Structure formats: structure tokens, C-alpha cells
Structure 1
Amino acid sequence: MRVNDAPFPVRAAVDRALAKQTQEATRDVESILDAALRVAQRCAPEAPRVADIVAEAGISNQAFYRYFAGKDDLMNAVFERGVQRLGSYLAHQMDKKTDPREQIAAWIRGVLTQVTDQTAASQSAAVIGQLKRGPHASGTDPLTALGHMLVDPIRQAGSHEPELDAEVIQEAVTGSLRRHLTALTAPDQKERDHIVSFCLRGLAV
């Protein structure tokens, strides 16, 4: 008997069991990701060990490998979660603005907080330094999704090539981000202002 063909009480029981398993798995994965980030920060620039991450998370090796193929897989997941959180922060900052040019500027300044904020910079440097296979196993950089956030405000600002313009700005800003993370430096106010004005001038709107 397929679950979909089962009586309602049976389907309800299965749904409850699956929901509980999903909640438990989500908690386990979040715990592992948090532990990996803490360990990576402590031992940077040296590579974190799976044994240390497992101990930090308070889980077994079996539990770790239930969710991740290995350390590289884990660090990519940590990176992608960080990018997702950054995306939420950028959306919040952009929502505070109504003028599209100000929204673009908010996006740029928000991305640069990853090197101007000490905690964010330390976390970003520790994680990026451990990425072995590129940002994503599929070959797609999660940072590209952040660039897509620029398309609408760039279009509203009058650009005829908003997708291309968004890609160029994303490459310029994340390139500066990576340069500072690699050098363990941070852009001062003058440099941040210059990056913003440079990108806005490039839009010619």
C-alpha cells in the first residue's frame, strides 16, 4: 500500500513522524554548521579537523557522516548558509530605501560589511580559506544570487541592460571583498564611498 492510498489516520501518523525527523535533522545540521564555523575561526588559517568539529557539536562521527560526505562538503554548506544570511541582511537594508540608486548603494555597503565588521570578516575569512572545490559543488557561485537582488533597482534606475549591469557590479564588489579577505584588511570609509560612486557612475543613470 502506498502512503497516499492509506487511510487518513495512517497518513497523519506518517506525516507526524516525518515532521519530527525533519525537525531533529535540521537541529543536528544547524548544530554541526555552527560548530564548524567556531572551529574554523579558532584554528584559522589551519584547516579544521572533522574530529574537532564533531567534538564541538557534541555528536558522533556516524551522525556527522549521515549529513555530510566530508569536511569539504560541510565547509561549502557553511559558506552557502552564510551567503543566504547575508542575502536576508541585504534585503532588509535595501527595503529601508525607496530610491533605486540608494537601494543599490545599500547593497554595496551591505556586502562590504563582510570585511568592515570584525566578526563577519573573521568568519568569512575562516570559511572561504577552507573552500577546496569552489563555492558550490555544482560550479554555481552562491554569490550570483546576491547579484540578482540588484536587477530590479537597476532597471528602475533606467538601465537598458539591468541583468548585465547587476553582474558587473556584483563582480566588482565581491572582487573587492575577496581581496580584502585574502589580505586580512578592510576598506576605509573613503574606499567604500568610492566603490559606491564608481558603480553608480558606471550605470550612467
Structure 2
Amino acid sequence: MNLDVDWGQVPDSVKAAVDRGLRRAQRDALDEVEQILDAALRVVERVAPAEPRVADIVTEAGTSNQTFYRYFAGKNDLLHALMERGVLRARSYLRHQMAKHADPAGQIGAWVEGLLSQLVRPDIARPSMALSRLTLPGGIGQPGRAKLDDQLGEPFAAAGRPRPDLDARAVQHTVIGAMTRHVGAGTIPDETEVRHLVAFCGAGVTSRPVPAGEG
């Protein structure tokens, strides 16, 4: 089979057929990966706080070891992908919630409440807590956390805050700290705590910044 193809000599209809085949192969691969990730999440939730076994994930997904290792180098590679997918889904949800508000304080409050809902909503609390208990080399890492807190920079900047990046980091640390405490204790924040955190973090929009050298 000749792989040294002169694509300038290939008819457009043939190129279109190849493109369709490649797109179909990518969709099929994505479907297989999503199937494995969904199965892994169910296994993680079921066996937590123990780490899941590849054999159990493969069985849950109804696939084979060959298919699993076609996409993932090993269990840690899979779990990192699972956590990253969770971060991106949370980011999309937070963006949707923030878009419902026009004012910076409302947007920040929506971000705080939306992130805390990862523990409060029954449909996502159990898998979120199960994933949070896993210990992976390097964890989800700063890039994963930045994908969440960079959403806060815009409302703080719109409010005229001189260091919106530091404001965003402070809010993120506050909320993630509360979530970590609850995950460790196996509890969820009640309505009073959620409302307090929303009000506390939103208040930073209108507070007077501390000049350099003070405090």
C-alpha cells in the first residue's frame, strides 16, 4: 500500500470520503473513551475510598483490556482524564450559572454557589466526593484549579478591583477549603453555610482594597 500520497492529485470527492471516514473514526473513538470514563466513575463511586482496579473498570464498561490500553497508558492516566473531564464540566456549569447575572457580585455568588453544589446536589455529590478522595501523583494540579478560578477574574475586574487575580485566588481557596473539609468529614454544607460563603465572597467586590504596606 502506497502511503506516499500526492494529495494534489487526489480528486476532491476522494478527499471528502477520507475526511468522512476520519471523522467517523474520531467519533467512534470518543464514544469508546466516554464509555470507559463513565464506567470508571461508577466504579470509583462504588469502591471509594479504595482505588479502583483496571479489571473492574473494563468489566463495568463492557470492553476489553486491549481497548482500554489503546487509549490509556494505565490507571493513573485514566483517573487524571476523569478528573480533568470533571473540571471542564464544572467549568461549563459555572459559566452557565454566572451568565444569569449581570452584576459582578451576583456572578461571583453564582460561581461560589455553583461550585458548592458539587457537594450539595445528590446527583453529583457522591461521584465528586469519591473522586476527591483519590490520591494521584501530582493530583489535578494547578492548571486544573486555574480552569475554575480564572472565571472569577472578569467580574472582579469589572468591579474595579486592582488585583482581580488575587481576589479570584482568595475566593477559590476559601471555597475549595470548605469543600475539602466536608469531603474529609463525609458531610455536605447546609443552606446556612452556603449562603454565608456566597455573601462573604461576594462582599469582596465592594470592599476597600488594602494599599501596599498596610495590614
2:176 corresponds to which of 147, 169, 174: 174
Q: Is the 8 A contact 2:133 2:183 kept in 1?
A: no
Q: Is the 8 A contact 1:3 1:11 kept in 2?
A: no
Q: TM (normalized to structure 1)?
A: 0.92
Q: Is the 8 A contact 2:58 2:65 kept in 1?
A: yes
Q: Deviation at 1:113?
A: 0.5
68-77 vs 22-31, greater mean Cα deviation: 68-77
Aligned CA-pair RMSD: 1.7
1-10 vs 172-181, greater mean Cα deviation: 1-10
Q: Deviation at 1:5?
A: 3.0
Aligned to 2:211: none
Q: Separation in 2 of the partners of 1:68 and 1:179?
A: 32
Give aligned-pair identity as a percent.
47
Structure 2 counterpart of 1:173, one-letter code: V
Alignment of 1:142-153 (within 5 A): 142-153=144-155
CA deviations on 1:48-88 (whole Å, 9 max, x unpaired) are 11111001111110000010111111111111111111111
Question: Is the counterpart of residue 28 in structure 1 residue 43 in structure 2?
Answer: no
- C-alpha change, 1:159 and 1:60, in structure 2 (3 Å) is same
**Structure 2: gaps (5+ residues):** 209-215
Q: TM (normalized to structure 2)?
A: 0.88
Aligned to 2:54: 50
Q: Separation in 2 of the partners of 1:165 and 1:6?
A: 57
86-95 vs 186-195, greater mean Cα deviation: 186-195
Alignment of 1:16-165 (within 5 A): 16-136=20-140, 139-165=141-167
Aligned residues: 203
Q: Deviation at 1:6?
A: 4.2
CA deviations on 1:94-141 (whole Å, 9 max, x unpaired) are 1111111111000000000011122322101211222412334xx434
Q: Is the 8 A contact 1:50 1:71 kept in 2?
A: yes
**Structure 1: gaps (5+ residues):** none
- C-alpha change, 1:56 and 1:3, in structure 2 (3 Å) is farther
- C-alpha change, 1:174 and 1:4, in structure 2 (3 Å) is farther
Q: Separation in 2 of the partners of 1:31 and 1:43?
A: 19
SS at match of 1:142: helix
Structure 2 counterpart of 1:189, one-letter code: E
CA deviations on 1:18-40 (whole Å, 9 max, x unpaired) are 11110110000000000000011
Q: Deviation at 1:4?
A: 4.2
SS at match of 2:172: helix
Q: Is the 8 A contact 1:83 1:142 kept in 2?
A: yes
Q: Separation in 2 of the partners of 1:131 and 1:27?
A: 27
- C-alpha change, 1:60 and 1:190, in structure 2 (3 Å) is same
Q: Is the 8 A contact 2:105 2:203 kept in 1?
A: no
Structure label with greater radius of gyration: 2
Aligned to 1:190: 192
